[in-house]
Amino acid sequence: MMFPENKMKKLLPAAETIAEIPPMQRRSDRPGPFGGLVRERSRGQLRLVDGSGMPEDPRDIEFGEIARHYLRARRLRETSLPAQLFADPVWDTMLHLFASRVEGKAITVTDACAAACVPPTTALRWFTKMEETGLINRRLDPRDARRAYLELTPDAMDEVRSWLQLTFLSGPHLR
């Protein structure tokens, strides 16, 4: 498919920016998960994952980084192409919730609405459907009943983990 020259001029800066994103650190570049406590990098600090010293899956640190990288690439695409053509609020929310859980962050409904990249009313409708289908759990803040948090269910965490594995860490494109 050929793009008109004026479209190519718009896409070129975005492509150059994507090319400048540093490659993700591979699992082999980090200490092994069973040789002591697993630690994660978060804004330049090292801290224990999930308070227990071990993530749910030893690969979750890497998967969380991949999910964040993928979400950044999706947002970068929207600088050159109409965002409404690529709206995927459920998937964006699931990736954000996955990465946030690995990072030890609790995500409010308001935060999740922003991560969905659609109007809040649309995001809220999708969250209800996600909850009904068993993808997320909604829990109230015990200190402030006006605030609720969203988190992926264990089955949804497994599905996102599997997708990240199949898409980014296996296959002929990595050989």
CA-CA-CA-CA torsion sign (88, 91, 95, 101)? positive
Residue 83: the pLDDT is 78
Query: For residue 101, is it within any domain?
Result: yes
pLDDT at 66: 94
> What pLDDT sits at residue 125?
97
With respect to residue 151, please indicate whether it lies within any of the assigned structural domains. Answer: yes
As a whole-number percent, the residues of the chain with pLDDT over 90 amount to 50
Is 107 domain-assigned?
Answer: yes
Burial of 104 (0-12, 13-18, 19+ CB in 10 A): middle
> How high is the pLDDT of residue 81?
87
Q: What is the band of 44 on the pLDDT scale with cuts at 50, 70, 90?
A: very low
28 falls within a domain: no
CATH number, domain containing residue 55: 1.10.10.10
Mean pLDDT of the chain: 77
3 state DSSP class of 41: strand
* Residue at 109 is within a domain: yes
Per-residue pLDDT of 51-107, as tens digits, reads 444 566 778 899 999 999 999 998 898 888 887 788 899 999 999 999 999 999 999
Distance of alpha carbon 8 from the chain centroid: 29
Quote the pLDDT of residue 120. 95
CA distance 140 to 86: 31
Domain tally, the chain: 1
Q: Is residue 4 situated within a structural domain? A: no
Greater confidence (141 vs 22) lies with 141
Q: Is the pLDDT of residue 116 over 80?
A: yes
Pairing between β-strand 107-108 and β-strand 144-152 as defined by DSSP bridges: antiparallel
Residue at 25 is within a domain: no
Task: Find the domain containing 93 and state its range.
Answer: 48-168
Residue 139 lies in a domain: yes
Q: pLDDT of 3-42, one tens digit each?
A: 466 655 666 666 566 556 555 443 333 333 323 333 333 3
Give the integer Cα–Cα distance in Å for 169 and 75. 22
